Amino acid sequence: MIEEADLRAAVGAGVLTEKQAAGLTAMAHSRRGAREDLSRGDEPFELFRGFNEIFIMVGLVILATGWVGVVSWYVADRLEIWQTALLWISTASAAFIWLMSEYFIRHRRMIGPAILLTLLFTAAVAFGFGNWLAQFFMIAQEDYASLIWPCLLTVAGVLVFWLRFKVPFALAVVALGLFATALLAAATRSGTPESFRDIFVFSAEGSFAWITLALGLATFAVAMMFDGSDPYRVTRRASQGFWLHLVASPMIVNTVALSLLSTADGATSTLFAVMAVFAVIAVVIDRRSFLLAAIAYVVGVITTLYPVTEGRNFGWLILSLGVFLVLLGAFWAPIRAAILRALPLGRLRAYLPPAH
């Protein structure tokens, strides 16, 4: 093991520069911190580091709540200028959030506040574009077509935010925004949705089924690019992959699950087989988030579209998926080692986390 004294000697001998030594030390600390308290085969996951980040996050929530209260009071008595005022207020809010991000994300490198600031920035940008482009009279009549462009522009704004601050969670927001826009476009193009469940149904029809599937596969490909560049999961690229996998699997499974659930016979066994395929992929790439999000989405769709009162009881399927998840989580490492030994992956093994 190379110790700090060895690095100082290497700098003194001219083998390494001080910048290279500092970078190597930082990487070693990051790798040790990411894996130090994890069991073998587990993957790192952090929402915050220490109570100070929680302290700051609570402060940001209170600050945002107070700001919304002040804005609401100001606009309530000035209805004649509310649209212009809200546009400027949302712009100022986004700019202020950007400045706070410069300090808390780029300077302090905080994880929890970075996620919260991403959400606040997304809300401010979405509110601004929605106030500018959305037709509120159409929305009141349940015509949501005017929300498509505000959604797309919000996605573009969050993408710019990610390019600046590289917050892993921001990429998930971008992918989720594209997915939500596709579902909204599917629902509005198929007619006014009468209920929330119609949005799911419409997303499995026509070209939009392929659009959501293509978005999911593209998101999965980007996630694998980040994972492949960091197979040991020690840098922020692994966190980018984690959040993208969390969004990619629901996109992919959306069309498949809805198509199977719409059939009268064989839906339960076939859908379980599909989840088994997702499980194999998740085990090979060592991403529990990919499988968890897919199963959670399927269970959500089942409980939303097919409650027991409608005569189709998928309780056994949900119970089987729960048992499947628990057993897989308990024996993830040996199962993964066996699958990796059995599959002829060739050079792809270099881009995958090692088996334990």
The string of DSSP codes covering 44-111 is ---S-SSHHHHHHHHHHHHHHHHHHHHHHHHHHT-GGGHHHHHHHHHHHHHHHHHHHHIIIIIIT--S
- Dig out the tokens for 30 from the structure: 């990051």
pTM: 0.80
Q: Based on the domain organization, do 138 and 266 belong to the same domain?
A: no
Phi, psi (5° rounding) for residue 215? -60, -40
pLDDT of 81: 61
Q: What is the pLDDT of residue 263?
A: 67
**Same domain for 138 and 237?**
no
pLDDT in tens, 58-102: 999 999 999 888 887 777 666 556 667 777 888 899 999 999 999
Q: Is the pLDDT of residue 198 over 60?
A: no
| Residue 37 resides in a domain | no
Residue 190 included in any domain: no
C-alpha 279/C-alpha 181 separation (Å) is: 28
Is pLDDT above 60 for 140? no
The closest alpha carbon to 267, from 197, 316, 328, belongs to 316
b/e per residue, 274-301, with b = 16+ CB within 10 A? Answer: bbeebbeebbbbbbbbbbbbbbebbbeb
DSSP category for residue 106: I
pLDDT at residue 272 above 80? yes
Gap between the Cα atoms of 340 and 284, Å rounded: 7
pLDDT of residue 355: 81
**What's the confidence (pLDDT) of residue 3?**
65
Whether 42 has a pLDDT exceeding 70, the answer reads no
Encode pLDDT of 324-353 as tens digits.
999 999 999 999 999 999 999 888 898 999
Q: Tell me whether residue 329 is in a domain.
A: yes
Kindly state whether residues 256 and 338 are assigned to the same domain.
Answer: yes
> 323 lies in a domain?
yes
Q: With a cut of 60, say whether residue 129 has pLDDT above it.
A: yes
Judge whether residue 242 has pLDDT over 60. Answer: yes
Q: Looking at the structure, do residues 262 and 160 belong to the same domain, yes or no?
A: no
The per-residue pLDDT of the chain, averaged, comes to 81
Quick: pLDDT tens for 254-271. Answer: 877 877 776 656 677 888
Q: What is the pLDDT of residue 32?
A: 52
Number of compact structural domains in the chain: 2
pLDDT at 46 over 90: no
Residue at a domain's end among 105, 137, 166: 166
Same domain for 162 and 224?
Answer: no
Residue 121 has pLDDT above 90, yes or no: yes
The lowest-confidence range among 4-13, 116-125, 153-162 is 4-13
pLDDT at 334: 92
Examine residue 26 and state whether it is found in any structural domain, yes or no: no
Q: Are 130 and 63 within one domain?
A: yes
Task: Note the pLDDT of residue 41.
Answer: 58
* CA 177/CA 138 separation, integer angstroms: 21
pLDDT at 217: 93
pLDDT at 312 over 70: no
- Of 67 and 24, which is predicted with more confidence? 67
Domain that holds residue 100: 48-166
Domain finish residue from 107, 132, 166:
166
